[in-house]
Amino acid sequence: MSLQNPVFIPGPTNIPEEVRNACYVPTIDHRSPAFAGILNPCLENVRKVLKSDSAHIFVYPSTGTGGWETAISNTLSPGDTVLAARNGMFSHRWIDLCQRHGLDVQIVETPWGQGLPADRYAEALAADKGHRIKAVLATHNETATGVKSDIAAVRRALDAAGHPALLFVDGVSSIASMDFRFDDWGVDVAVTGSQKGFMLPAGLAILGFSDRAVEASKTARLPRTFFDIADMTRSYAANAFPYTPPVGLLNGLKLTSQMLLDEGLENVFARHHRIAEGVRRAVAAWGLQLCAAGPEVYSDTVSAIRTPEGFNATRIVTHAATKYGVAFGVGLGEVAGKVFRIGHLGMLTDVMALSGIATAEMCMADLGLSIRLGSGVAAAQDHYRSTAA
């Protein structure tokens, strides 16, 4: 793998040089006033990225999986019922985590490639007259299939049923890249990580909690220590962590969150949509299809591309790495060997995207697929030329 080439996996993403430098800070005393100058801007900026005026922000040394555990362990008790749709590998893994914690998961099985079925959520919530369901899990962007879901529709289902369940949203591969509205959508816990839209190395779980979620934490009985938001809240009040913080990563988050705000969130979202649409035009020019069922669920951060029946899509990923030094994403779970994934989020430009599209073309041609070299590149070029800022 060549370290000179950008990566086209859906995370970890490419890291801007100034961000790498920001992460390599000299050691400081994290119990000194100097740490406040790193911590507090992180919390304030992340709240703005979530489009919230009041969310309680928590940042842990972890990843998105630790964020999932933070969400449930702070708000739920053993035996509680949660409602979740399984429509991809990452929704599946969150369900598995809940089950391992002794929660009763009411699963809405959904074909991979489709978005969350808000109508079936609505049926389940309306039928739950005793309000046994304590939380609803929603994966905003399913990284395995390149599918985004309508979180506002899930909130409408909760409201229409008059149901008090908390709404937990996995925004790991959407937040800081695609429009996310914590307050407008009535989200109670939002989960993301540092290694996607925030353009950092893996190592931070980043969460927003609503007032309702914080209140639920006061009576929740699932065990928690490292991820206890009460401990973190007390420490934040003293401009500190309850344990040794990852100062370098936090300093990087201070910078990248400000970079996003300086670019303008709507501009960030428009840039991701524009680059993603170029990739989708290339896929169409190749005569291939996306795993995502239709335009209404197309992700702007990752495209999962179906290869012809009988062709192992993982060969493209392996070939790209060994011959051209470029990283694409493999298919996961039910779509393993059926798709390869092009990540197009974080620090990315149309010029960088074109290099990934060209490499994918070369790989497919090398491996005998009926791909005309230049077809996808030309389709993407036409789009980028006509939509350039």
Q: Three-state SS across 116-157? A: CCHHHHHHHHHHCCCCCEEEEEEECEECCCCEECCHHHHHHH
Q: Would residue 3 count as lying in a domain?
A: no
pLDDT mean by block of 10 residues, the chain; 389 residues? 89 97 94 95 98 98 98 98 98 98 98 98 98 98 98 98 98 98 98 98 98 98 98 97 97 98 98 98 98 98 98 98 98 98 97 98 98 97 93
H helices of the chain, where?
17-23, 36-49, 64-73, 89-100, 118-127, 151-160, 211-217, 229-237, 247-263, 265-285, 314-319, 350-366, 375-387
Domain-ending residue, one of 232, 262, 292: 262
**Residue 257, SS3?**
helix
The pLDDT of residue 11: 96
Q: Would residue 1 count as lying in a domain?
A: no
**Residue 208, SS3?**
strand
Domain-ending residue, one of 262, 281, 303: 262
- CATH number of domain containing 224: 3.40.640.10
Q: Would residue 352 count as lying in a domain?
A: yes
The DSSP output letter for 14 is -
Strands 147-148 and 133-139: unpaired
Q: Would residue 10 count as lying in a domain?
A: no
Give the rounded distance of the alpha carbon of 327 from its chain centre: 19
Q: Is 355 exposed, middle or buried (0-12, 13-18, 19+ CB in 10 A)?
A: middle
Give counts: helices (H), strands (E), the chain.
Answer: 13, 13
SS3 content of the chain, % helix, strand, coil (to 5): 45, 15, 40
Kindly state whether residues 250 and 271 are assigned to the same domain: no
CA angle (150, 151, 153) in 5-degree steps? 70
- Residues composing the chain: 389
Q: Would residue 245 count as lying in a domain?
A: yes
| CA separation for the pair 148, 298 (Å, rounded) | 6
| CA separation for the pair 190, 11 (Å, rounded) | 18
Kindly state whether residues 223 and 305 are assigned to the same domain: no
The pLDDT of residue 1: 64
Q: What is the pTM of this model?
A: 0.97
| CA separation for the pair 264, 366 (Å, rounded) | 41
Domain-ending residue, one of 223, 240, 262: 262
Kindly state whether residues 241 and 371 are assigned to the same domain: no
The one-letter amino acid code at 129 reads K
| CA separation for the pair 389, 274 (Å, rounded) | 10
Range of the domain at 336: 264-387
Kindly state whether residues 182 and 277 are assigned to the same domain: no
pLDDT (tens digit per residue) in 149-172? 999 999 999 999 999 999 999 999
Kindly state whether residues 39 and 133 are assigned to the same domain: yes
Q: Would residue 5 count as lying in a domain?
A: no
Q: Are the C-beta atoms of residues 337 and 329 closer than 8 Å to each other?
A: no
Kindly state whether residues 199 and 341 are assigned to the same domain: no
Q: Would residue 339 count as lying in a domain?
A: yes
The pLDDT of residue 3: 80
**Structural domains of the chain, count:** 2
| CA separation for the pair 179, 130 (Å, rounded) | 34
Kindly state whether residues 88 and 115 are assigned to the same domain: yes
The one-letter amino acid code at 334 reads E
Give every CB contact of residue 325 below 8 A, 6+ residues apart in sequence: 1, 2, 4, 5
Kindly state whether residues 312 and 376 are assigned to the same domain: yes
Kindly state whether residues 36 and 98 are assigned to the same domain: yes
Give every CB contact of residue 368 below 8 A, 6+ residues apart in sequence: none
pLDDT (tens digit per residue) in 12-69? 999 999 999 999 999 999 999 999 999 999 999 999 999 999 999 999 999 999 999 9
The pLDDT of residue 56: 98
Q: What are the structure tokens assigned to 6, written together?
A: 């950008």
Q: Are the C-beta atoms of residues 307 and 369 closer than 8 Å to each other?
A: yes
Kindly state whether residues 316 and 344 are assigned to the same domain: yes
The pLDDT of residue 246: 97
Q: Would residue 299 count as lying in a domain?
A: yes
Kindly state whether residues 206 and 120 are assigned to the same domain: yes
| CA separation for the pair 147, 278 (Å, rounded) | 17
Kindly state whether residues 180 and 297 are assigned to the same domain: no
- CATH number of domain containing 336: 3.90.1150.10
